[in-house]
């Protein structure tokens, strides 16, 4: 879970990470190494790091789901044309 707040009258954001995966944690750690002061990091870049990590982690599952959907479509087409 990620909590994000950027008050209108402030130039700094508040981001709280709770229960993120190890891959996302590693990615954030690597990202933080590029900054001497992590508070200077742009908040949208942190979102991008998390999104990239999540997509990479979920990619095998999404490929699996795609193959399952294709199998169901093939079966439905076969049953439609058979009958």
Among candidates 14, 13, 22, which has minimal Cα distance to 53?
A: 22
pLDDT tens-digit readout, 35-47: 777 667 777 788 7
Domain residue spans of the chain: 2-82
pLDDT of residue 3: 66
pTM over 0.85: no
Q: Round to whole Å and give the CA distance between 19 and 10.
A: 27
Q: Output the CA torsion sign for 5, 7, 8, 12.
A: negative
The CB density around residue 2, as the number of other CB atoms within 10 Å, is: 13
Task: Express as a percent the part of the chain with pLDDT over 90.
Answer: 20
Q: Answer whether residue 4 shows pLDDT above 80.
A: no
Q: Which of 27, 8, 7 is nearest to 17 (CA)?
A: 27
């Amino acid at each position: 879970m990620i909590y994000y707040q950027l008050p209108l009258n402030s130039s700094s954001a508040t981001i709280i990470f709770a229960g993120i995966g190890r891959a996302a944690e590693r990615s954030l750690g690597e990202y933080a190494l590029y900054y001497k002061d992590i508070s200077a990091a742009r908040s949208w870049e942190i979102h991008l790091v998390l999104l990239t990590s999540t997509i990479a982690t979920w990619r095998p599952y999404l490929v699996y789901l795609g193959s399952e959907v294709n199998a169901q479509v093939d079966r439905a087409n076969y049953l439609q044309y058979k009958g």
